[in-house]
């Protein structure tokens, strides 16, 4: 493992030192008509632009709302309105929304329980039978 890491570090250092020349050569060949190199160069230096995706999702208030929301996303992919990658990003957003809601609900429930415990500590114990 250590030797591999050392070899990887050496290769990265060598590549880093040669990067300007590699870039210059690649661009020269791309400008000379190598469309594949030109496309590859642009793909590396220009990340794909994220586009805004507009989909009317149902309100997501609980885990029960996951099915209709994800069904809406699936229909959008099937209709060609969004890509599968965009659907995956939306699915993660939907899942995160549900998790945040569940955490907020848990926090609310915990606060109620803590209040009940504190109230019970303050009340005197009644030893007489009811």
- pTM score, two decimals? 0.51
Q: What is the pLDDT of residues 64-114, one digit of tens each?
A: 888 999 999 999 999 999 999 899 999 999 999 988 988 999 999 999 999
- Of the candidates 50, 49, 85, the one whose C-alpha atom is nearest the C-alpha of residue 73 is 85
What does the pLDDT average to over 110-124? 90
Q: What is the pLDDT of residues 8-20, one digit of tens each?
A: 888 888 878 888 8
Q: Which residues make Cβ contacts (< 8 Å) with residue 72, sequence separation at least 6?
A: 55, 56, 57, 58
Give the Cα separation of 4 and 2 in Å (integer).
5
Query: What residue segments make up the domains of the chain, in order of their start?
Result: 1-48, 50-124
């Amino acid at each position: 493992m250590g030797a591999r890491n050392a070899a990887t570090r050496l290769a990265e250092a060598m590549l880093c030192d040669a990067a300007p020349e590699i870039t210059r050569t690649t661009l020269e060949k791309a400008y000379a008509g190598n469309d594949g190199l030109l496309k590859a160069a642009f793909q590396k230096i220009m990340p794909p632009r994220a586009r805004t995706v507009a989909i009317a999702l149902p309100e997501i208030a609980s885990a029960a709302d996951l099915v209709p929301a994800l069904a809406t996303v699936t229909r959008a992919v099937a209709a060609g309105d969004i890509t599968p990658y965009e659907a995956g990003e939306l699915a993660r957003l939907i899942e995160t929304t549900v998790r945040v809601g569940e955490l907020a609900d848990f926090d609310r429930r915990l606060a109620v329980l803590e209040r009940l415990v504190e109230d019970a500590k303050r009340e005197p114990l009644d030893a007489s039978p009811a």
